[in-house]
Amino acid sequence: MAKKIFINLPVTDLKKAMEFYTKIGFTNNPAFTDDTAACMVLSEEIYTMLLTHDKFSQFTSKKIIDTKTDIGVINSISVDSLDEVNAMADAALSAGGNEPNSPKDYGFMQQRSFSDQDGNHWEVLYMDMSKFPG
């Protein structure tokens, strides 16, 4: 069985966050969604759990950071082409996100950044390993 990753994000407006993630290509799994949490699926192995602050706090005794001013994690997603990089980043911007960094071209890897309305930071990237140096 393939291992799965669940990225848990605190959000201030669950409905608005669900709309954002739907617009950038995630789908909702209603079996794991209620008025405090939503399971958003990107692939068979990648899930993002959007949790209200109250719900998120049930899983930790630590203070939730303000992701609009602080960063605790960078979530990265690889895609199959530069067109997919641009499509996801552009969808994030049109869905109300922002682009905190300019696009990067490392020769073998192209990358764009975006943040959701809560400031959760994402990188979407395409790697062409045939161009990897050395």
pLDDT digit string (tens) for the chain, length 134 residues: 789 999 999 999 999 999 999 999 999 999 999 999 999 999 999 999 999 999 999 999 999 999 999 999 999 999 999 999 999 999 999 999 999 999 999 999 999 999 999 999 999 999 998 998 87
- Residues 44 and 15 both lie in one domain: yes
The angle subtended at Cα 107 by Cα 103 and Cα 108, nearest 5°, is 105
Element (H, E) at 121: strand 121-127
- Residues 75 and 134 both lie in one domain: yes
**66 in any annotated domain:** no
**30 in any annotated domain:** yes
Q: What is the pLDDT of residue 9?
A: 97
Q: How far apart are the first and last CA of the chain?
A: 34
Element (H, E) at 49: strand 46-52
Q: What is the pLDDT of residue 75?
A: 96
Q: What is the pLDDT of residue 28?
A: 98
- Residues 38 and 1 both lie in one domain: yes
Element (H, E) at 127: strand 121-127
- Phi/psi for 27 (5° steps) reads -120, 155
Q: How many domains does the chain have?
A: 2
- Residues 88 and 108 both lie in one domain: yes
**4 in any annotated domain:** yes
pTM of the full predicted structure? 0.92
- Residues 47 and 75 both lie in one domain: no
Q: What is the pLDDT of residue 2?
A: 84
- Residues 120 and 82 both lie in one domain: yes
Task: Report yes or no: 13 and 23 within 8 Å, Cβ to Cβ.
Answer: no
Residue at a domain's end among 20, 41, 61: 61
- Residues 75 and 57 both lie in one domain: no
What residues make up the domain containing 102?
A: 71-134
- The domain that holds 16 is classified in CATH as 3.10.180.10
